[in-house]
Structure 1
């Protein structure tokens, strides 16, 4: 069922939601959280599709906030709220309200969203594309226990990572971090089997890919060893190599789907490491609503510090490989 409301209010939207549930015969609310999606018209469809798929695991009230920028000075002064309500089969396993804000109301989105939040339920705010510099300081971000962004969508992903580290607050997270969860799990399991001392590490992947940088920072932060970041043609993250005294532990994924795990003294093993869709990443993030301290620690390690540690570790190696200076020939002693 779809209901369109023009020039409406939050109170009228709540009343329409209650009536719509009664009309389709499901008056009881079985939703576990409120998911606030802050996006634009161009990206709203894809974001909603991912949220609908994730709602099969996490039934939610989905509030889509679309800020419509007015062109003329007069229209910018006129505040107006239009809403589209979707319940039943048109809203996944929960209910959806698409909010289109016009005029001065664009700067006060939190006043529209606040009355529509589910009572006594967690709130998650998600920016699929463009996000504010300070997530927790944003008026809409302040409503959420968890704040999800994606630095992969930024124009400069590495600068975005640095900005996330500077403005980090408990509850912030990044889908670029979520993408490397299978890699981190596989590497941790491999090291548990080997029980070896790591000397250095190398991470290969697409240049300026934030997931590759986050994995490298996580390894450097947890292992306290130099980590080198090497670019590759992708797709995404392609290889991780951990150097040990007994040999190298290598997790290699050349095709974006099936990876090969190589460990000293053991046969090669094929492991599934397919690239996941946004809906799967979102569903994973909705499973936990507490702060991710591991992400915070890796993020604060910093891209610049990672590059500095890699260059510092390369300097002694270059000095060792440099040819030794030829000794000067000894002078012959002459009798006087």
Structure 2
């Protein structure tokens, strides 16, 4: 596994979101604006699990530690660059995004001057027009009341203080929240219409317009999914994949953006297919996850292991689970548990027990372990 999330180093296999994080860090250090946002949002716990899988939990700290690496490397330079919020709104947005990607949400909140993460303490006028997106992303990561944040997002999505692009991002996050939490909000269908009918107002170039609309269709897919409409769910995902295919990268930065958008799309397709019992689509989507992540994301190998196991391809499933374990990071525990189960089927009890011990050492509260 690469040390992207531990020390911003490229010393091994680097996933799609790792390339995005490295590119963002370099641009923050160089004060070089990034014209469009990356799509992936690595969980705040990713650095923690990366260190745990390397048996380096003693290096966990609430903030970036400049003494941990020489100041000449990217980590030290990024530390210096994230100590204050740049005056330029785009650079400020990038700085906050980098802190969130590395798991330092409290530092991001402090940089933004958020006095509270409780949406009840906030009014729409408290949201800065230039920093609205990083403020909302920080609140979504840190607030104990995500439902309250979703209500604020809905209100802001209808405010003419913000551009059509920013309003669409607010509406999209509101729709995703409702879909993931199975919340039948009275304004949900209106928010969906706002997203799907207003794409002509976004003022994006063709490449980034296609990618953004991919995220819109993927977000909207959560709504029929939560309502049990399988056909409509896959119609939305097919529309999302069409948009992804229509986005043609013409530079290295475009390719990073393309892969960074493609992975969550194929992950959603994989999960939806698995739930629907469409094993062939689940396998196809899992293989696409591996392709766009350069084989360096444990989630992709875990998805392939699960898909192969669902069709009784246990040898292939075990190989994929072991790849997830070898990569380290957040999926190590889940991959080890999956490997333990398969080895148990093969009556390889000693190796199965060893894999279960690996899982427990990294994430003893893993739902898989607790359930077993």
Which has the larger Rg?
A: 1
1 or 2, which has the higher helix percentage? 2
TM-score exceeds 0.5? no
